[in-house]
Structure 1
Amino acid sequence: MINIFTEKVKKITTNLNLKKTILLVLNASKGWLILSVVMILAETILFLGSIYALKILVDKISHINFSDKNSESEIIKYVIFAAALAIGYAVARAISAYIIEVQATKVAHHIDEKIHLTAISLELSYFESPDYYDVLSRAKEAGSDRPNLVITTMLEIAKNILNLAAVGSLIFTINWILLPLLIAFVLPTLFVRIYFANKQNLWRIKHTPLERKSAYLSNLLTADVSAKEIRVFGLGEYLNNLYKKIRVEVFERNLNLSYKRTLSEVLTTSLASMGFFACIGYIAVGTVRGTTSVGDIVLFLVIFPQSFTIIQNISSGISILYHNNIFINSIFELFDLKIEEKADEKYIDLPKDQGITLELKNVSFTYPHAINPTLKNISITIPEGKIIAIVGLNGAGKSTLIKLLCKLYKPNQGEITMGGTNINSFNELEYRSQISPVFQDFSKYNVTAEDNIRFGDISKPYSEDDIIDASKKSGAHAFVEKFPHQYKTMMGRLFEDGHEVSIGQWQKLAIARALFSSARILIFDEATSALDAVAEKELYDSFRKRISNRSAVIISHRHSAIKHADYIYVLSGGTILQHGTDEELLNMDGDYAKLFKTPNPSS
């Protein structure tokens, strides 16, 4: 029995985890937190002072000597004193509420920023794991206002405890057993609330994937990306029924838990009320028997209900504190995700030469939680100033290769070198500044056209000429210059005055983004898949001129995109099957010749 109780207490204290919450709020707004504590203490003191001043005023009035000419002025003096304290209390409450609001805003901003900083510092593998999205969903559900609410609840509990101490001292003068009895009657309700807070938290964790799935379905039904297909294929009713099925299941389980909690609270609060009136009956019987004075019963009837309310407020505050802090643990769960430590690492400088060679040496890679390797014993050389092409069918491992080149993952075996040095020896951000990719699933930023291009190298000093030059090289300038505000035009339809364009035009902006950068190596992963044949031919026929003297890696299914490459690697099943020039590969028996030797309408 003792062990079970100890385990329950340990679980409660673990869930409560107040130290981390307090430190979080202190880091966000230390000064405002201290000020809010001071103001709540001042508010409590003024409240108790105003009650005491009214008591003195009543005592003075009851003992007044009406024949004394100075009595009126003396009474007025005490009235002014009591009024001043009451006004001070009202002012303190208003100021305290403002300070808490400011503090809450600062804490919310701090948590939002920390969530974003945590997200951008995590390795890419987290973003390819459902577990991460469960953690992120729970952290966002917890809300950025809960940590500050925990602190304010703690302060409210402290204030109520001070009030209880003041009022309870008077109850002790009547009968010492009354206050402990009252607390004992209220405790079952507190235990019930803590019990169901734990149950709700376990339910929340278990059903996070279900909640995320319903959110995903809701987004499908309301977002612009899927709007066309939902209407064309008549998916609206089907998806809505799936959504309703999940929500009904969630609602029913939630309501079932709420029903059990409500039933338990009805029983415990009824017990507390019975205890309250039992105490009143005890004092009343004592008065009849002569063991309690009339003065005691009058005092008791005035302060005892107030004590009962204060105890209930403390109990409610503790349960709210516990419930909110359980949610806050989800925020800490996100913050505690493993972030690769880099602070103590010593990096070497990147090669200063204008041209650098990037090389993969016997590289193998298996995704986290995967069994089979995606890439096996890959060796590719990307010499300075050369264009290298990589050809392969879907699932060959091309996109994974790009992630390794961008240092989004590290090889399990082998190494990647730049200028003969392992890329792990370079600072990650500095290394990535030398690689500028156009991903197959490129981002469409709902910002201005110029920002869509500048995002390729945001640290580069703003230059309208450089933006326009990159835009011309990618073919985007032809449509951007026709916008009413040209490069200042907002792209997409999410915001006011936004301009939506075709997927091919979005891809031209993505290409311009890569060309705008100062990177010495460009990577084009199916970067022209959405362009028409004429636009693609124009780009690649003058590709060397467009990229200047930089190196480039082109990944494509189209012969027209890769035939001008200096060297070509054929990737299949995660391994290099063939390599050579376009002419050499066309004259070999293999996948390359099968793909491109026969006339192909898309080439």
Structure 2
Amino acid sequence: MLNWLSNLSDPFVEAPVVRPPSGMLGFFRYFLAPVRGLLAWLVVVSLIASLSELALFVFLGQLVDLTTDNPSPGTFFSDNAWLLTGMAFVLLVVRPVSVLLSRALTTVSFVASLTALVRWRSYRYVLRQSLSFFQNDFAGRISQKVMQSGPALRESVVNVVEGVWTLVIYLAGTIILFAGLDAWLILPVVLWALAYAVTIVRLVPPVRARSQALAEANSSLSGRIVDGYTNIQAVKLFAHAEREDAFAKEGFVRQVDSFRRLATSILMMMASLNVINSLLIFSVTGLALWLWSVGQISVGSIAMASALVIRLNQMSGWILRTITSLFENIGTLQNAIETISRPNDIVDNPEAKPIAVTGGEIRFENVRFHYGREDGGVIDDLSLTVAPGERVGLVGRSGAGKSTLVNLLLRLYDLEGGRILIDGQDISGVTQESLRSRIGVVTQDTALLHRSVRDNIRYGRPDAGEDEIVAAAERAEAHHFIPNLRDFRGKTGFDAHVGERGVKLSGGQRQRVAIARLLLKDAPILVLDEATSALDSEVEAAIQDQLYSLMDGRTVIAIAHRLSTIAVLDRLVVMDEGRIVETGSHRELLERDGLYAALWRRQSGGFLGGDPGFGDERSAAE
């Protein structure tokens, strides 16, 4: 039975990754559509459970009248056998089965599936957001939004079914039953319902707003805490623990203040509810007693009416808390929607197809890009062609636009003018996944996943075998330190986890793992952005032999501030303020005595493979 309930809905059923609607109702419809059948069954079963409970109050009134007016108690059971059997069936079968099934459908089937469904689809969409989306926010805050969206939407729906729906059934049932006793009994219930509605309309919206503020405060606090923990090395190096305390405390103070404001609103609602509930019990019971005194209703009717309003009194507090929770969750959800449903800046063209890289020619045609700034361009009207198999080095001062040009090639940002073509295919017209799968990248700021060394290397090619992973590690000169690794769980070697962003490894070790990943990927286009900057000279010399071997037959774009590492490439392109100012071989640029020559003269020490500009003509010409 439990297995059947668990398998009524699959939250991970295949579905396209699309942007969730930004409107509240649309957001609900989008995520409830896959479970609408289950939701319909839940509503029906909840209806049966509520009606069976209302029937108990009818039975109570009938039993009081039957026992009060019965002249011969000895024949009570035989005289009322069918009625008592029906009561017993509802009490022992219909009510417990419907209540249990309603609870089982809610907890086992609906809650787990809907929570996972919302989180899973939200996670997949957010994961495909542009790089700038993540650069402009805390990672902890984004993950908090994704995680809280599932419970918030789930609880909102459960609140409606178990609270609002139950209240509607009880109110309608009470009014119908009172109409059968005496129409005057309806009046206090209707007045109570109107007062209840006014309480909700006037006092619940502030709860929603303050709940949204609390959700934002919680997310911001989580982001501040995660930011401090993620950058713990900088905190310790600069001895700023107390500064981080103050930064986090601002978040804690804001969160506590938001929580107190929300609690105050809830308290005001509870006070109002206590007043109108007391008036309901007093008025209905008093009116029932008066009607009995004038012979309008029976003693059983008094019992049924009193029991119903006492039950409404008990339910009203719970239902108001449920409705309050509903608005709290809607506020939380609205706060999450602002992040989750944000449009993606970088999207595939509907007609996009996988890229086909045959030769590897790269053409930048009149490229313009300035990160949305109004004071000038980072890349201005740049044109550059890299021939198939050509190895090109990008040179220039910091901020010249070298890394930006590479990011544009990877389509981490969309161009503001011009176009980029690979083998004649505009990269804006191919799928992002296929584009990046055909370009191997190693950057200076190497970040690894908090997984095993094996998983990080295999990230270059997920279907790689163990022998290929080990071979890539050996070629990247990583096989010396990997066997000595040990994580806090006692895992060693390739099984050892590297910590968040690879913090348990040194900069050089992280870069070697990244290079092993690149070697395993074996892409036809290579982008090396300060790929060996964190390595010592001996290791760099060994790895460069592997990199130069990997470059054979591939199109390469390399960036390096240490000019000797790229002086041997086929062509050097010198950039300044977003433009190409010089191009040529190392020797041609030195003879031109321009910007490159000035940069070269400022370099000192640490050159590998000799100094191509000073006597080693063979290295410079290679």
TM-score (ref. length: structure 2): 0.81
Deviates more, 1:500-509 or 1:44-53: 44-53
* 1:515 alignment partner, one of 519, 524, 538: 519
Q: 1:472 aligns to what? A: 474
Residues 357 and 419 in structure 1, CA contact (< 8 A), matched pair in contact too: yes
Q: 1:457 aligns to what? A: 461
Q: Percent identity?
A: 22
Q: For 1:601, what is the secondary structure of its paired residue? A: coil
Q: 2:409 aligns to what? A: 405
* 1:149 alignment partner, one of 150, 155, 158: 155
Q: CA RMSD in A?
A: 3.6
* 2:97 alignment partner, one of 91, 105, 108: 91
Residues 147 and 328 in structure 1, CA contact (< 8 A), matched pair in contact too: yes
Cα distance in 2, alignment partners of residues 270 and 126 from structure 1: 50
Q: 2:193 aligns to what? A: 183
Residues 536 and 561 in structure 1, CA contact (< 8 A), matched pair in contact too: no
Q: Quote how far apart the aligned CAs of 1:72 are.
A: 5.1
Residues 123 and 146 in structure 2, CA contact (< 8 A), matched pair in contact too: no
Q: Quote how far apart the aligned CAs of 1:520 are.
A: 0.5
* 1:37 alignment partner, one of 23, 39, 43: 43
* 2:173 alignment partner, one of 154, 166, 176: 166
Q: For 1:583, what is the secondary structure of its paired residue? A: helix
Residues 387 and 566 in structure 1, CA contact (< 8 A), matched pair in contact too: yes
Q: Quote how far apart the aligned CAs of 1:66 are.
A: 4.9
Do structure 1's residue 252 and structure 2's residue 257 form an aligned pair?
yes
Q: 1:126 aligns to what? A: 133
> In the superposition, relative to structure 1, how do residues 435 and 500 fare at CA in structure 2: closer, same or farther (>3 Å)?
same
Q: 2:328 aligns to what? A: 323
TM-score (ref. length: structure 1): 0.84
Q: Quote how far apart the aligned CAs of 1:569 are.
A: 1.3
Do structure 1's residue 435 and structure 2's residue 442 form an aligned pair?
no
Q: For 1:388, what is the secondary structure of its paired residue? A: strand
Cα distance in 1, alignment partners of residues 435 and 98 from structure 2: 56
Q: For 2:604, what is the secondary structure of its paired residue? A: coil
Q: Quote how far apart the aligned CAs of 1:86 are.
A: 2.4
Q: 1:387 aligns to what? A: 391
Letter of the structure 1 residue corresponding to residue 175 of structure 2 = G
Cα distance in 2, alignment partners of residues 149 and 67 from structure 1: 50
Q: For 1:143, what is the secondary structure of its paired residue? A: helix
Residues 436 and 522 in structure 1, CA contact (< 8 A), matched pair in contact too: yes
Q: Which consecutive unaligned segments of at least 5 residues does structure 1 have?
A: 1-13
Residues 365 and 373 in structure 1, CA contact (< 8 A), matched pair in contact too: yes
Cα distance in 2, alignment partners of residues 427 and 117 from structure 1: 17
> In the superposition, relative to structure 1, how do residues 98 and 125 fare at CA in structure 2: closer, same or farther (>3 Å)?
same
State how 1:135-534 maps to structure 2 within 5 Å.
136=142, 139-140=145-146, 142-156=148-162, 157-172=164-179, 173-174=181-182, 175=184, 176-200=186-210, 203-204=213-214, 208=216, 214-221=221-228, 223=229, 225-256=230-261, 258-259=263-264, 262-263=267-268, 265-267=270-272, 269-271=274-276, 273-274=278-279, 276-278=281-283, 280-281=285-286, 290=294, 295=299, 297-310=302-315, 314-339=319-344, 342=348, 344-345=350-351, 347=353, 350-351=356-357, 353=358, 355-368=359-372, 371-458=375-462, 461-482=463-484, 488-493=494-499, 500-534=504-538
Deviates more, 1:442-451 or 1:505-514: 442-451
Deviates more, 1:266-275 or 1:362-371: 266-275
> In the superposition, relative to structure 1, how do residues 516 and 137 fare at CA in structure 2: closer, same or farther (>3 Å)?
closer
> In the superposition, relative to structure 1, how do residues 245 and 450 fare at CA in structure 2: closer, same or farther (>3 Å)?
closer
Give CA-to-partner distance per residue, 1:475-523, whole Å, 9 cap, x none: 122323455877641322469xx99332211111111111211310111
Cα distance in 1, alignment partners of residues 566 and 139 from structure 2: 38
Cα distance in 1, alignment partners of residues 413 and 227 from structure 2: 30
Q: 1:112 aligns to what? A: 119
Give CA-to-partner distance per residue, 1:202-234, whole Å, 9 cap, x none: 6458xx4x655543432355x3x5334433432
Letter of the structure 2 residue corresponding to residue 246 of structure 1 = G
Cα distance in 2, alignment partners of residues 177 and 308 from structure 1: 16
> In the superposition, relative to structure 1, how do residues 246 and 383 fare at CA in structure 2: closer, same or farther (>3 Å)?
same
Q: Which consecutive unaligned segments of at least 5 residues does structure 2 have?
A: 1-20, 608-622
> In the superposition, relative to structure 1, how do residues 230 and 487 fare at CA in structure 2: closer, same or farther (>3 Å)?
closer
* Matched pairs, number: 575
Q: Quote how far apart the aligned CAs of 1:188 are.
A: 3.2
Letter of the structure 1 residue corresponding to residue 48 of structure 2 = A
